[in-house]
Structure 1
């Protein structure tokens, strides 16, 4: 007896990862955008700088506003799928920094100040940095073909 394999049509095989990346980009990008907005406009730059200083972040006066802007603008770029790879890579590294400076000593659970939340954000950003924006990113529209392929 020959075993018959049931495969999905090619259109599903090539589309599902792109849809998954779209969902991941929109959710992770929106969260990063919201965090940047919060740091800039709710906590304010002086408040965010003070918090970073208290956590022991080196050069907090430069790092705090820079990171807030990168999260705000970078989150928007990730949602749009423009320059996704470098922006997401930078945000992944920043979340590792957040874990090291603010959360690692508190253990795993976020309700105790732990690193579980920033670990998920770091992983999501790393996945986007590795995979790129997928078919539904706007890099292919706004960047030259080679740049879009490399930078996503």
Structure 2
């Protein structure tokens, strides 16, 4: 079980962290904060570079923490929040990713929830510090709810209610 949890944490954390690095920089085909700001504006978000920086830094921090298995409940909440927002944004495009849908971000969100409920495992920094045995239902619920509330709150605060179409506000 420890090896399985290690693989789950490392793969999820690496995917999320590198996606955040792409948002913040030009590494691995990333467009940097300018392109991320434009993408967020196109998706209906306000805040420009600040929003892009918050999203990318949350992904990088949560991803690296998951890889290390450090403060895993907080890392899980970060993944749930960031990927939950991506899921919400893509709902209007249908399910499948090849059509711009929510398939992939929903999958990563679900993996974040899975880690929130399984814990980091013994092969983690949390395990080395004796925190992996501290996993109780309350911690899992708190991490999951923090991620959901973080996603919903961020969406409600930063997403525009109006769409600009052909120069006219609706």
- What SS class does the counterpart of residue 134 from structure 1 fall into? coil
Given candidates 65, 82, 94, the residue that maps to 1:77 is 65
| 1:47 and 2:47 are equivalent in the alignment | no
Query: Residue 61 of structure 2 contacts residue 75 of structure 2 at CA under 8 Å; is this kept in 1?
Result: no
Deviation at 1:54, TM superposition (A): 1.1
Task: Find the counterpart in structure 2 of residue 149 from structure 1.
Answer: 134
- The answer for unaligned runs of 5 or more in structure 2 is 141-170
Task: Tell whether the 8 Å contact from 2:73 to 2:116 is kept in structure 1 after alignment.
Answer: yes
3-state SS, counterpart of residue 34 of structure 1: helix
| Offset at residue 76 of structure 1 (A) | 1.0
User: Hey, what does 1:93 align to over in structure 2?
Assistant: 81
Per the TM alignment, residue 131 of structure 1 is displaced from its structure 2 partner at its CA by 1.7
Aligned mates of 2:131, 2:63 — CA distance in 1 = 23
88, 105, 124: which one pairs with 2:111? Answer: 124
Is 1:19 aligned to residue 26 of structure 2? no
Q: How many residues align?
A: 133
Number of the residue aligned with 1:136: 123
Q: CA deviation at 1:93?
A: 2.1
Root-mean-square deviation (Å): 2.1
Q: Structure 1 runs of 4+ off > 6 angstroms?
A: none
By how many angstroms is 1:60 displaced? Answer: 4.3
Q: Contact 2:120/2:132 (CA < 8 Å) preserved in 1?
A: no
How many Å separate the matches in 2 of 1:77 and 1:135? 15
Q: Distance in 2 between the 1:94 and 1:48 partners?
A: 14
Paired with 1:104 and 1:45, the residues of 2 have a C-alpha distance of 24
Aligned-partner SS, 2:80:
helix
**Larger Rg belongs to:** 1
Q: Secondary structure at the match of 2:120?
A: coil
